[in-house]
Amino acid sequence: MNTMNRLGASVDAEKLPPPETPWQEFIRVFKKDRLAVVSSIVLAILVVVGISGKVFTEWVVVFDAEVVRLPDKFLPPLSTPSVDIIPAPDLPQLGVYVFGTDELGRDVFARMLQGSFVSLSIGFVAVGISVVVGILLGGLAGFFGNIQLLKIMTVDTLIMRFTDVMLCIPTFFLILTVVALLPPSIYNIMIVIGLFGWMGTCRFVRAEILALRQQDFVVAAEALGLPKTRIIFRHLVPNALAPVLVSTTIGVATAILTESGLSFLGFGVQPPYATWGNILTDGKGFIFDAPWLFVIPGMAIFVVVLAFNIVGEGLREALNPKLRRR
């Protein structure tokens, strides 16, 4: 049975390799970058650690992050607790202080577990908010861009100028201002970081939708009489998601770093909640006496942010249409 290959030559259909779905193609290109594969495994481990952190420090309380043991202050990692002084229910579950204790005798390992969930959730929720807002505004600007409003400007111009206005404002400074003026709460931080980070996603989505609008499947959908919102959000946006996915992974990394910066300046999540930024900031006062209090959360943030960045770059390479075989 003869068919045509992409150059137009006549080929025997049974001898061709089976056609590859886009998903398989993506996996094939992604797997070539070994560093990205390792980093995605690290991230999977991180997600597991985060969820188990929430489970084991708050719901089932295997590792208690809040119990204060003053006789056991400033113990280095892997040291044994003073069994005779500390009452039995306060002893660490694993028999040793895996990451040492801090200035109040709290188990740093338990605090890091609790903080992992908080830091990760801040990153994901903030980026989630910014992605939703960005896709909404970008989709509207790209698809309805020609519609005039009150004869002054088009929808596209309005949304793009609004994006430009938001891009003008120095981001970290404004986040700092708003977070400092609002009552300190973890939800405020998430919402504020999310509300100031949607501009990149909006631009990407709008550019992709403008390019995709001329394609035949959109004309066919309109001819079938599908409502416009369904066309945008069920058909166009999923095809436009590639650059959004890349900026999402890098956005989570940036959100985690922003949160640690805010904690350093005193405006992060308030005690007794632990986030990695909190633990790092508390530890900076004890660099000479107890360096593990500063180094451990810092290296943890470093490893996680590095993993997100590497996976983001790997995704960008794998989703790059110029590298596809077609």
Partner 1 sequence: MLAYIGRNIALRVVLLFIVSVLIHGLIHLAPGEPSAVDPSNPRMKPQDIAKIRAAFHLDDPLYLQYVYWVRDLARGELKSFKDNQPVLGKIWRRFLNSLPLFICSTLIVWTLAFPVGIHAAIRRGAVFDRSSTLVAYALISFPGFFLSYIMILGVVEVFHVPVIGLRTFGMEGATGVFQFMDRVWHLVLPSLLGALGGIAILSRYVRSQMLEVVSQDYVRTAKAKGLHQDVVIYRHALRNALLPFITMFGLLIPGLVGGSVIFETIFAWPGLGLLGYEAILSRDFPVILTLNVFGAMLTLIGTLISDVLYGVADPRIRLE
Residues making contact with partner 1 (CB under 8 A):
35, 161, 164-165, 167-174, 176-178, 180-183, 253, 257, 260-261, 264-265, 277, 280, 284, 287, 294, 298, 301-302, 305-306, 309-310, 313
Q: Using the minimum distance from each CB to partner 1, give the nearer residue, 39 or 57.
A: 39
Q: Using the minimum distance from each CB to partner 1, give the nearer residue, 86 or 182.
A: 182
Cβ 263 to partner 1 shortest distance, Å: 10
Please choose, from the candidates 190, 44, 222, the residue with its C-alpha nearest in 3D space to the C-alpha of residue 126: 190
Cβ 203 to partner 1 shortest distance, Å: 14
Task: Spell out a b/e string for 115-125, using b for 16 or more CB atoms within 10 Å of the CB, else e.
Answer: bbbbbbbbbbb
Q: Which residue has the tokens 């409502």?
A: 227
Q: Using the minimum distance from each CB to partner 1, give the nearer residue, 13 or 35.
A: 35
Is there a contact between 275 and 116 (Cβ–Cβ < 8 Å)? no
Q: Using the minimum distance from each CB to partner 1, give the nearer residue, 11 or 287.
A: 287
Cβ 131 to partner 1 shortest distance, Å: 21
Amino acid identity of 17?
Answer: P
Cβ 313 to partner 1 shortest distance, Å: 8
Is there a contact between 277 and 266 (Cβ–Cβ < 8 Å)? no
Which residues fall within 8 angstroms of residue 314, CB to CB, at 6 or more apart? 30, 33, 35, 36, 37, 39, 40
CB atoms within 10 A of CB 257: 17
Q: Using the minimum distance from each CB to partner 1, give the nearer residue, 81 or 278.
A: 278
Cβ 82 to partner 1 shortest distance, Å: 30
